[in-house]
A and B are shown apart, each in its own frame.
Chain A
């Protein structure tokens, strides 16, 4: 399943350009009035439910906070305070925690998902494949609350907390262990999602290539390092991108598993609204978060589409 959010579902049958012939352009009709109307309606829905609200948030982030109102006064003074406040180290730590833990979970998740994905991808259609596939897709669909609750139960105080924490030489309630729980929570999301992306990628790598490498004298592990991994690079990047996007936007996972000691930017935004009703500040945080995520997404997308990965399946 293509989970890279910005790509249109790709058509696998792309014919190479024939230099000598004149080919007809891609089939497709010219727009009709009904088509324009339909598209217009959909665009309007998106504009009303996403664009305009975001613009309001943008506007609001520059207004001064007046306690007691949802949103700010229309005539409240213009201020940059909401943004400058964020430079304070207390806020910066939220961003740092979010991106750091998100990156750790994404890298780890993709690494763990790869062998799993390889196993499924190379299997013929049999019950093992169906069950594993069904299992991965179910996990992906599973409500985040269930996962969070289950992890809290099994790795929290009622479960194996003390034993596992001891493995790391930590107490069950320490900041390290709590971060560990948050990472676990994110992994529960990241691993199935990445596995599904990578299954698609690996299935598009010619299985004969590993055999060819072996025939040329390479050990299996070396063949994979020199052949499979480079070819899977694009998919790995794509899986990382999806995982990272989800991880940094995580809300419930850090909220429940973080126990107040670890919080992500989304929790900060929520707190602005629920505890203080400080919408301007929340808006500023939201804007910063949006800009940072979009930048990362576009940068990594660009990288994944770039020609340095030519030859690798998507």
Chain B
């Protein structure tokens, strides 16, 4: 009897897992397939023929291309800034002990739990009140505050994993604290820093909620452009844009794996053989 319920349960769980995975994958596959639809309009799945018309349409659409350019520039700029800020914060939090350290680190991670819409809304209010109208600067600052916590988190995780004896070994061998930091701590924290930068890049490219408040008709990101298009013209150019974004994301994940190893992002657990 036990064996029967065990097998039954195993089957049910397997079935549920497979359905879950399918549910996660199928929409993406469908979007990818539809992006090659040869029809001029959005018709029922499956497409009768394949063509790259939607991709050419996307790449010849100045509206989308401008958004793409802005998104890439914005992501690179905000990632550079947030990596610098995040690394400085993480290193300082790791190295020094002072009262209120725990509170400060929770504070630095807090943007992760504030809804992005509220962040976007509040920044719009603030920037308008001080007369900051430049679209690019507003977006960079908005993206900065939402991506820095990721850099801090991964860098800190990396730093905490560095054995204290390494620093002490460097000191006793003759290095001062700052030389030890540059020659030992920073190289060993490289993966955490790089992983954080990748996170920052990905979340900057992805952001809609904050960007929607901070863009204006002349300066907008690709996701904002796509959102606007989704509400007005729900066509398959969005599908091709999505596929492009998917490819960019997959490339970023591959990069993350090369830099840090995906297993390190998740961890192996203490019972790893």
Contact = CB atoms under 8 A, between A and B. Distances in A.
Asked if the two chains touch in their complex, CB atoms less than 8 Å apart, one says yes
Nearest to B234: A152
Contact size range, A: 35 or more
A294 interface: yes
A133 B263 contact: yes
Interface string B209-236: 1001100000000010011001100100
Interface in B231-273: 231, 234, 238-239, 242, 245-246, 249-250, 252-253, 256-257, 262-263, 265-273
A80 B111 CA distance: 27
Q: Which of A38, A57, A150, A204 has the most CB of B within 10 A?
A: A150
Nearest to B26: A154
Interface of A: 1-2, 5-6, 8-12, 25-32, 35, 38-39, 41-43, 45-46, 49-50, 52-54, 56-57, 60, 70-71, 112-113, 115-116, 119, 121, 124-125, 130, 133-135, 137-139, 141-155, 158-159, 184, 187-188, 191-192, 196, 199-200, 202-207, 219-221, 245, 248-249, 251-252, 255-256, 266, 269-270, 273, 279, 282-283, 286, 289-290, 293-294, 297
Given A133-B266, A142-B249, A290-B115, 13 more contacts: A1-B265, A2-B157, A8-B105, A30-B98, A41-B85, A41-B88, A49-B123, A115-B14, A138-B253, A139-B24, A150-B242, A153-B239, A203-B269
Main DSSP-derived SS at the B contact region: helix
Contacts, number: 294
A142 B177 CA distance: 41
Interface of B: 2-3, 5-6, 9-10, 13-14, 16-17, 20-21, 23-28, 30-31, 34, 42-45, 85, 88-89, 92, 95-98, 102, 104-119, 121-126, 128-129, 141-142, 144-145, 148-149, 153, 156-157, 160, 164, 168, 177, 202, 205-206, 208-209, 212-213, 223, 226-227, 230-231, 234, 238-239, 242, 245-246, 249-250, 252-253, 256-257, 262-263, 265-273
Main DSSP-derived SS at the A contact region: helix
B209 A251 contact: yes
B266 A42 contact: no
Contacts of A252: 208-209, 227
Contacts of B267: 1, 200, 203
